[in-house]
Structure 1
């Protein structure tokens, strides 16, 4: 779950104080210098400087603007419940882990290919969850089936639309398989997907396994992004 390029990421150390969405009305800020930066890096930095959710996340101590996406999902679907044990796939830099704990999770196990600074109440692994040994390690940390599995996974794009789509769909399929193999009956699964993706087969599989399956696009998701979230509630068990 990484909203920023690895070389541009910044850690937040101030503890969160609020769960409200970011405010509006911030004036446009331009980069002071573009020295030694690629065009894409310049665009990303300028977008970050002018994104009200980025500013609000920094002010409140959330590690990424993605925290607001999970808060909106939870406000709408009540996914996170006090005492839940949660697995977060693709957890870097830790915004969703922070939200889950803030909203009452008893324990969160997170995994990402990137390193994540420690968060009290969570066990964070730098590893590939698609490795069967890592999946077993995650479940060992849980000491039982998790109540919720979260996935904000996204592949690094290569610029070739078909290749990128196949990689994204592959991650989504693997995350859903992990959820179906490990969730507690009655549990919930939340995963990033993309509009226009060939998700019909996956949605059918989830609808057979959950009481309710919905699409949701948070307001904090950038308007020009095709990302949406699949929210599956009431796991029926294997």
Structure 2
């Protein structure tokens, strides 16, 4: 991806990693997360280039590989906070110049952004699908989902919650997309069951699993990209 190659984090053969001391009120897990953030080249690059999150580079890389974002598209962004995906997608569709439209929702408030409209809403709310389509003003060209269920620590429970969110996002995409549309969703390795993939392969021309370089190497994070929505009879 142009201009997004990560730095190595090393200079002159000497590691430049920043170590974070464990504060009295900070847990070990929080300390490790902070240390990882401080040493993540994509976090640093996002700050340099003005992106709201490192996640922007994941979307940029996937689109540079598969070219599913185009000028003037209408996009729905599920789990949009803090706005990194909407920001990257907006740049690609020309949203700030009045081309296309982006509607994003999240449980958290998101700072305003040119060319995008954000709502505080739970996607699991029964009214959310209908309202999203109304706010967009018709069918979407792309549905993005970077949603992730909060971890409970119980592997089987977390797996089921992940699969459940992907299923709901996929169902919504098939309701909201115009023919030829695309659906990109975060899953985890082992997180998309055969039933979900079979459903996507039935409704889309091409279904791929993608792991962008901007996803951390030690993470089980994975994305499913479905393109060429076939449309639904009577829709």
Counterparts of 1:3-152 in structure 2, within 5 Å, are 20-26=4-10, 27-32=16-21, 34-104=23-93, 105=95, 106-152=100-146
Task: Flag the structure with higher strand content.
Answer: 2
Could you say what secondary structure the match of 2:6 adopts?
coil
- The change in CA–CA distance for 1:19 and 1:180 in structure 2 (over 3 A counts) is farther
Q: 1:164-198 CA deviation, whole Å, 9 max, x = no partner?
A: 11111111110000001110000000001111235
* TM-score, scaled relative to structure 1: 0.89
Distance in 2 (alpha carbons) for counterparts of 1:32 and 1:107? 44
Q: Which has the larger radius of gyration?
A: 2
What is the number of residues matched between the two proteins? 221
Q: Which runs of 4+ in 1 moved over 3 A?
A: none
Which whole-Å CA distance do the structure 2 matches of 1:151 and 1:198 have between them?
14
Q: Which residue of 2 aligns with 1:194?
A: 188
TM-score (norm. length: structure 2): 0.90
Alpha-carbon distance change, 92 to 167 in structure 1, aligned in 2, over 3 angstroms: same
Deviation at residue 132 of structure 1 after TM alignment: 2.5
| 2-structure distance, mates of 1:109, 1:29 | 37
Query: How far 1:137 moved relative to its partner?
Result: 1.6
| Structure 2: 5+ residue stretches without partners | 11-15
Residues 198/101 of structure 1: CA separation in 2 closer, same or farther (3 Å cut)? closer
User: Which residue in 1 is equivalent to 2:13?
Assistant: none
Q: Where do 5+ consecutive residues of structure 1 fail to align? A: 1-17
SS of the residue aligned with 2:156?
helix
Matched, 1:220 2:214: yes
